[in-house]
Amino acid sequence: MSVIVHKYGGTSMGSIERIKNVARRVAKWHSAGYKVVVVPSAMSGETNRLLNMAKEITPLPHERELDMLASTGEQASSALLAMALLAEGIPARSYTGWQLPIYTDNSHTKARIISIDHKKILDNLNDGKVVVVTGFQGINENGDITTLGRGGSDTSAVAIAAVLKAKECLIYTDVDGVYTTDPRIVSEARRMSTVSFEEMMEMSSLGSKVLQIRSVEFAGKYRVPTRVLSSLTDPLIPLEEEMISGTLINFEEDKEMESAVVSGIAFSNNESRITLLDVPDTPGIASSILTPVADANIDVDMIVQNQSVDGNTDFSFTINHVDFQRTVNLLKDVVIPAVKARDLAIEEKVAKVSIVGLGMKSHVGVASTMFKTLAKEGVNIKMISTSEIKTSIIIDIKYMELAVRSLHHVFGLDAK
């Protein structure tokens, strides 16, 4: 019988009652003959509780110890889920990342999976057991615990589905699929029954919180059929109904080429913009600025370098807000003295709004429609970045919701 991987997010595991519901749902699949591997996140709020304690200890906790701490959340929820399954009469066993093991690189707090030893999983599946595997974590070559970063349990689940060649990876979450944009902001947002891999990649990278981008990368690389669906339905709904619910990530893009020009709008209010002022504009300046940042494992997103005036230029880039303080310190201590910039201008919190669609490849004027719409609403654009299937802009946080709603309407995404 087929292997199927279930992943449950923090909200789905958010209380004892919900964990019992997860167990009932998994039991249903197990009883239908599937070989089920379950990857739970930490109970909602738990990871924040742990990280807040760390921050109370010290503003910049040691990252190896931070992983040691944060990984306990998934270990606890995995044990609770295995108990709940056993209490339902389903043979089950939980494993941590180090017990399998799941090997990662050494980048604490944002490690990447290198390999997964699936022997214990297979042995237990063949033995008729449900296998619960902690999401979000692994070990590095030294035997230290590593974590995969926020949302890393999605990546764990898809990677496990890949090595097991699972029939499908079901990402159960507190929404019932992927929407044209966040329905909490735009009530007219529509659920898509399928979304192309490329669009999903852009949506994830742009801050749509449905799936972590690395999980989508894994899904794409290993062509893992991945479905986002709700964990809040009755756990005992018929299997046939559950199997076609949610949104399936689709690898056959050609079929859908004639679809909407823009298929979704992603946004994030968790960006920081940093500008180095009056940098002498010499060859290699971008590399001199960004190499130390990359070496510190800080992801730079959008980059803009202005026209040079009198041999000096302003150099701006955005990062995730989580890296803000670390980046500012690095720039002040290392980069500014090295590149002889005059000063630093910072905007600690800005918003990013992006339109995404495969159809943008073959249609001109999409970005222009975007800019015109925002101009009409009086929204000032601070930065622009474009790729084949998306256009992103940075704006003031206070305009974010207005921008998303207008664009959702203009590009014909509102539900009928």
Residues lying near a second copy in the complex (CB under 8 A) are found at 16, 19-20, 50, 53-54, 56-58, 61-62, 64-66, 68-69, 71-73, 75-76, 78-80, 82-84, 86-87, 93-94, 96, 98-99, 143-145
Q: Note whether 10 and 156 are within 8 A (CB).
A: no
CB contact at 8 A, 69 and 55: no
Please state the closest distance from residue 12 (CB atom) to a second copy, in A: 15
HSE, CB side, 13 Å, CA atoms: give it for residue 298: 25
Confirm whether residue 311 is marked as ligand binding. Answer: no
- Burial (0-12, 13-18, 19+ Cβ within 10 Å), 96: buried
89 in a known ligand binding site: no
- 183: burial class by Cβ within 10 Å (0-12, 13-18, 19+)? middle
Instruction: Please say whether the beta carbons of 253 and 358 come within 8 A.
Output: yes
128 in a labelled binding site: no
Q: Are strands 145-147 and 92-95 parallel, antiparallel or unpaired?
A: unpaired
The nearest distance, CB 131 to a second copy, in angstroms, is 13
Residue 59, Cβ density class (10 Å: 0-12 exposed, 13-18 middle, ≥19 buried):
exposed
CB of 235 to a second copy, least distance (A): 15
- Shortest distance (Å) from residue 133 CB to a second copy: 12
**Is 8 part of any known ligand binding site?**
yes
289, 276 contact by CB (below 8 A): yes
- Our CB check for a second copy shows the closer of 53 and 239 to be 53
As a whole number of angstroms, the distance between CA 91 and CA 108 comes to 34
Of 96 and 215, the one with the shorter C-beta distance to a second copy is 96
Residue placing its CB nearer to a second copy in the complex, 2 or 48: 48
Query: Smallest distance from the beta carbon of 49 to a second copy, in angstroms?
Result: 10
Determine if residue 74 is labeled as part of a ligand binding site.
Answer: yes
- Residue in the structure block whose two tokens are 């609770």: 80
Number of Cβ atoms within 10 Å of the Cβ of 306: 13
Q: Please report how close the Cβ of residue 52 comes to a second copy at its closest, in angstroms.
A: 9
Whichever of 57 and 345 has its CB closer to a second copy, that residue is 57
Compute the distance between CA of residue 386 and CA of residue 367 in angstroms, rounded to an integer: 9
Cβ pair 141, 106 in contact under 8 A: yes
Contact, 246 vs 39, CB < 8 A?
A: no
Residue 135 or 207: the one with the smaller Cβ distance to a second copy is 135
Q: Is 173 annotated as a binding residue?
A: yes
Name the residue nearer to a second copy (CB basis): 140 or 392.
140
Spatial contact of 236 and 384, defined as CB atoms under 8 Å apart: no
What minimum distance in Å lies between the beta carbon of 113 and a second copy?
20
Q: At closest approach, how far in Å is the CB of 47 from a second copy?
A: 12
Alpha-carbon distance of 390 to 409, in angstroms, equals: 17
The least CB distance from residue 130 to a second copy, in Å, is 12
Q: Is 279 annotated as a binding residue?
A: no
184 annotated to a ligand binding site: yes
> In the complex with a second copy, which residue's Cβ is closer, 143 or 284?
143
Q: What is the DSSP string of 113-157?
A: EEEE--HHHHHHHHTT-EEEE-SSEEE-TTS-EEE--TTHHHHHH
The answer to the question of whether 179 is labelled as a binding residue is yes
Residue 34 among known ligand-binding residues = no
Say if residue 95 carries a ligand binding annotation: no
138 versus 207: smaller Cβ distance to a second copy: 138
Distance CA 230, CA 178 (A): 10
Nearer to a second copy, 18 or 110 (CB): 18
Helix (H, G, I), strand (E, B), or coil: what is residue 109? Answer: coil
Residues placed in the known binding site? 7-10, 47, 74, 173-174, 179, 184, 209-210
Residues placed in the known binding site for substrate? 47, 74
Residues placed in the known binding site for ATP? 7-10, 173-174, 179, 184, 209-210
